[in-house]
Amino acid sequence: MTSKKLVNSVAGCADDTLAGLVACDPNLQLLQGHRVALRSDLDSLKGRVALLSGGGSGHEPAHAGFIGKGMLTGVIAGAVFTSPAVGSILAAIRAVAQAGTVGTLLIVKNYTGDRLNFGLAREQARAEGIPVEMVVIGDDSAFTVLKKAGRRGLCGTVLIHKVAGALAEAGVGLEEITKRVSTVAKAMGTLGVSLSSCSVPGSKPTFELSADEVELGLGIHGEAGVHRIKMATADEIVRLMLDHMTNTSNASHVPVQPGSSVVMMVNNLGGLSFLELGIIADAAVRSLEGHGVKIARALVGTFMSALEMPGFSLTLLLVDEPLLKLIDAETTAAAWPNVAKVYVTGRKRSRAAPTEPQEAPGSTTAGGSASKQMALVLERVCTTLLGLEEHLNALDRAAGDGDCGTTHSRAARAIQGWLKEGPPPASPAQLLSKLSILLLEKMGGSSGALYGLFLTAAAQPLKAKTDLPAWSAAMDAGLEAMQKYGKAAPGDRTMLDSLWAAGQELQAWKSPGADLFQALTKAVKSWGHHCTHRLKKSFSLMPEMTDAMDRERMEAPKKTWMGLRRLRSHRDAQGRRKMAKPRNHCGHKGGRTLLYCM
């Protein structure tokens, strides 16, 4: 079965992709009548060496993405995975020669078709009196015993483009460039791995792998590799690849030793996510540095792909300072990354976390009856939430992803763990701030963020005062923050509705002589009976919410109402409320601790 591809036609896809690249890059031009892309400023190259490369299409951004000042002069493209035509190669050579260049270097990957076609075009051009040289790049480190055909040309070819381009831009002659890049190519190796194959447009996959296999040492045209290994972690696969590439018993190994400096390329073969690419890069850096290898530069991205192949290749190039300067030289090539000109190894990769603001003396005072009472209240709340975990999950399954209870239990356990570390702050503002941080870090999800927003904002009015008007203002601030960032409004049938209804009743606390319990009683009644059970879904809940679920949801407010009645069961001689023990674990430090209970 052929895979789906977004093309206009199988026959024209190579022409279309090159046309699209040129259309979007004013620095490029097409050579009429040929599948050739050239720099649009050819006339500026008079007296310099031209660099041409190419091969089959399907390896994008190679090679046309590397045309530009400081890299390639032009590229000749073939059909997908097919060597370019001799006539087009010769036309490109003639074009750059007629623009006034003093010679042309052909940079060719080591594949039979490419060697033959570029070689034939070179001979024809030389017969016309055009000075042309050719270097064949073979950087494949897969085969431990070299075959007659030599090592295949892979992603390391892009580094040769860069080195040759920097030399040509500096005005170095054809013979010297040829000699130097040939030397560089011998100090380089590449190894690829893939989770599955790729498929040429209109064709079936080039090979098949079982679900638990990966192909090691494959080529960029879907050719089979040297081993099929079992699926493993990114760390394990990268370590295996680097061991293979640097093993001295491997005839195509890279002679890397502790203390060596390398340029490392992590190349996406086309189908890997950026997430995976970052994981692989991290594994490669750790593995190389663990063996004492210094990473001078790290290039991570898509440089030479194999259509949609879900795999990657690693390239190592041994470098010294002169070679590194050529790698660092400026280029306008669109596909070359903007790499910092500093060593990867030895660079400080993290910085200390910011210090928390200094708190005012006494603001975090713990201990005393209020702090102990608060700890008991929080512990009881947490125990209740843990007991309701499955019940809340069951309610959530009909309207969401079924993790409401789990999320709140995670928060409850985090608070319990925090309480074991010591008594909570006695200051209401500090308490809410600490709980906010804890829920943001440990609870997770939207609930953690919303509770964190509410508590963070609510803590601000309580820094100056903790009387009843301040608590009402705290409720207002928390609700405002939830609406601002959560984008829900009262009536949208979210967690905001209950809090909003309670907040409206707590406005009474702003009046002189407000009665604490009267306002709390109305707030709980409003929360339980008048805020959500008649609302229609308009924000986030699923329309499948049933009447039975509505009835279940009503039980929690009723229980809270009964708890409030128990809190009012005793009064002292001054009319202050006392807590019934052991039913409620709160003291009677005025209104403060009662507010904590709510």
CB contact at 8 A, 134 and 185? no
Q: Within 10 Å of residue 13's Cβ, how many Cβ atoms?
A: 20
Question: Is 56 annotated for ligand binding?
Answer: yes
**Terminal alpha carbon distance of the chain:** 63
Nearest to residue 17, comparing CAs of 25, 300, 157? 25
Q: Within 10 Å of residue 251's Cβ, how many Cβ atoms?
A: 12
Question: CA-to-CA distance for 118 and 134, rounded, in angstroms?
Answer: 8
Pairing verdict, β 74-80 and 36-39: antiparallel
**Residue that the structure tokens 């059970």 belong to:** 533
Question: Is 387 annotated for ligand binding?
Answer: no
Could you give the 3-state DSSP secondary structure of residue 576?
Answer: coil
Question: CA-to-CA distance for 311 and 194, rounded, in angstroms?
Answer: 4
Question: Is 328 annotated for ligand binding?
Answer: no
Question: CA-to-CA distance for 243 and 287, rounded, in angstroms?
Answer: 10
Most distant CA pair in the chain: distance in Å? 117
Question: Is 139 annotated for ligand binding?
Answer: no
User: Active-site residue among 221, 408, 585, 588?
Assistant: 221
Nearest to residue 228, comparing CAs of 142, 138, 139, 302? 142
The CA radius of gyration of the chain, in Å to the nearest whole number, is 35
Does 221 qualify as catalytic in the annotation?
yes
Q: Who contacts 318 (Cβ-Cβ below 8 Å, separation ≥6)?
A: 187, 188, 254, 255, 256, 260, 261, 262
Q: Within 10 Å of residue 44's Cβ, how many Cβ atoms?
A: 12
Binding-site members for substrate are 56-59, 109, 114
Residues designated as active site? 221
Binding-site members are 56-59, 109, 114
